[in-house]
Structure 1
Amino acid sequence: MLRLVKQWLLFLFFLGFFLRLRGLFANTFHADEALFTSWARWVRSGHDVFLLTQQVDKPPLLVYLQTAVFLLFPPTAMWAARLPNWVASLLLPPLVGRKVWGWFGEAETAVFATTFLTLAPLAIQFSPTAFTDPLLVFFLWLALPGMGRGLTRTNADKSAKSLTWYGFFFGCAL
């Protein structure tokens, strides 16, 4: 049973990959995507690494991840600007499945949650974008489920380290 569940989750990962792949190369930029990408190009050029001359009202993590991608791929490619969110959206369904499995202890529930997120039209449509939302959702899923556990006798030894990581991921989301 456990082997079948793991195979199903692996199948869902690859299904999500193929469902989201077309969108990476499909559409032109929305005005906000173009603005966020221009900030990343500005950082990459070295003119204003901390974006002090720009009116940035969004979390800077996406801009810096796009800048890192632009160091590897040409900054003129639209898909390169969308790559960080696309990767985060590929990792989100397995992460949700793992968290749900840990919460409820049932593999079937984890498969259901992973299937639902893998096939959700909104998740598919927004995964290959240069908006800040997919990255925010990914880091919130990394952070929030663990932050509510609190200290118990069984997890007191590793709790400080875990809470530090949960706080770090929560900070990355914001």
Structure 2
Amino acid sequence: MQHTPAPAATPSFYLKRHAQVVHALILVGVVLLVVQPVLLLAFERPWLDLFGAGSFLGLPTAPADGPARWRTALVSLLPVGGGLYALRQLWRLFGEYGHGRVFGKTAQDALVHFAWAVLLLALLLPLARGLMTVALSIGNPPGQRFMSISIAWFDCLHILFGAVLVAIARVMAEARRLADDNAGFV
């Protein structure tokens, strides 16, 4: 006996509105992520200090010269790329939610990929910040080069958040599998 899933329900007004708000926030997030390397390349140090680019990127100081800015901007592409991937998965997820396909396979896959992206980014961001400090100081004379790796409370919070998201995604995948199995018996 072949199970035919019921047609997707029409999304509620609130779910559709929520998906639209999240899509708008994702677009803002994309702009903020893409601006990071551009800020490093486009502005000299006094302007970077004014914008707080060093603290925005997790660096002890803004890059002083052109080659340091280029190196730091190139290394910053690693977390930027990971962030863009996570936001792409979130876009897919809320696109499905906006169409009322909350428990569909595409929504489930997007949730799983987003959860893993968040967890991996949380684990890799301290390392990426450390690599940016190396890129920042590698042009310094010997004895003035440094590497700074720090883990703050929000890094631990992001790791926990990622782990919770992975668990929720797995529970939802199992619930979907059980629902499909049970629907096949009816």
TM-score, length of structure 2 as denominator length: 0.32
TM-score by length of 1: 0.33
Which of these two proteins has the greater Rg computed from alpha carbons?
Answer: 2
